[in-house]
Amino acid sequence: MMNINHIAEHYVKLVLAVGQHDAGYVDAYIGPSSWQTEAQQSSATPLPTLLAQADTLLQHARSLSAPPDDQLERQQFLVLQLHAVRTFIAQLNGSKLSFDDESRALYDAVSPPLTPADLDITLAELAALLPAEIQGSDLNVRLSAYNKAFEIPRDKLDAVFTAAINEARARTRRYITLPEHESFQVSYVSNKVWSAYNWYKGNSHSLIEVNTDFPMFISRAIDLASHEAYPGHHVFNVLIENELVKEKGWIEYAIYPLYSPMSFLAEGSANYGIDVAFPHTERMQFEKDVLFPLAGIDPAKAERYYQIQAVLQKLSYAGNMVAKQYLDGEIDRDAAIAMLMKYSLSDADRSAQRIRFIEQLRSYVINYNLGQDVVQAYIEKRAGKTNQDLRWEVLTDLLRHPKSASMMA
């Protein structure tokens, strides 16, 4: 009978083998290099064989005798990760799932139902907030005209983003003990479907890539600095590597398959971590004092700008609604772009980029907004909304003890 450590080792090798069929599947790997080399040098294992291996591992994982209390959640999470691997293999082999069934199988969560009518009240609220001098009947055009004043000039982007990361890092290190040698590198890239990406390289080091296909708005500087770095993806991966892989020897955490419950926690905690690191009043002060001047943007415009950002946040689930309808075949590509322009209020080019993201990552989109809401509910149930010390404590504990959506319910 296999124990949990044997299952974990086979799981890592299975994920590496699946990665030979999909280049984007393995998001990060910090395990034995020999396992990776073996997977790369062997011819791709046929998908039906991998599917059978996943079924066998799932059976073993589910039939494990009751583990010690400190490993019960480890077993629960590993079972869900294995179920996601099995689902993804089946999809590569031709299995078709609806949007909701796919997200449930891969991420252990389903986005709440939403219709365009649910968003119309928010659109009216936003229209009333935009300055009266910005005329026009098309809300998207009005918002695009307003947002122009809040674009970070390309030649100032690095200074603004670096300042945001440094502040996020300083705030995080007050509450989370990190290795002295932890580090990151920032690179500016183009022609991507995402706005930024953290590539974890191991040994407490990350490469953060920032996409410059479109100008970055000033609100995105702190969002991306916190989400991708502190206390987001970089910190999460550093804790996983040092405390779960190196200290406990839980080898399953040496690999991160992108389409898995791990992403729900990673994206959700990274998004909610923005608010933990930068409570609204403190964020506004830092933006006005540091980031707006660095970007050459008038700090006097910050208050209304962030009022508008708060209303836009209410539209975050619009992307899930559009992705579901598009991927389930209810609307075509042009209609999906038009819906994003109306309900997410992104311009035509950004909406087209968003559709490319949806086409590539499919139901992954739920991990950002639903993930954030589930993590927020979990943390605020235990720490409230105003006790900063306790919020940091619960967030850090969650990063050190990964849980899926159903485990946080």
- 384 touches 390 (CB < 8 A): yes
What value does the mean pLDDT take over residues 61-84? Answer: 90
In this prediction, what percent of the chain has a pLDDT beyond 70? 100
For residue 397, the surrounding DSSP H or E stretch is helix 388-400
φ, ψ at 79 (rounded to 5°): -60, -45
Alpha helix ranges (H) inside 63-181: 69-92, 99-107, 116-129, 139-147, 157-173
- The answer to whether 296 and 282 are in contact (CB under 8 A) is no
Exposed (0-12), middle (13-18) or buried (19+): which is 167, by Cβ within 10 Å?
A: buried
**Residue 297 pLDDT > 90:** yes
Please tell me the distance from the alpha carbon of residue 254 to that of residue 246, in angstroms, as a whole number. 9
Sheet strands (E) in 214-346: 216-217, 255-257
Structure tokens at 187: 């690179």
Segment 127-151, tens digit of pLDDT: 999 988 777 778 999 999 999 999 9
Asked if pLDDT for residue 2 goes beyond 90, the answer is no
The predicted-structure confidence for 250-292, as pLDDT tens digits, reads as follows 999 999 999 999 999 999 999 999 999 999 999 999 999 999 9
Distances (CA, A) of 303 to 84, 129, 299, 314: 43, 12, 8, 18
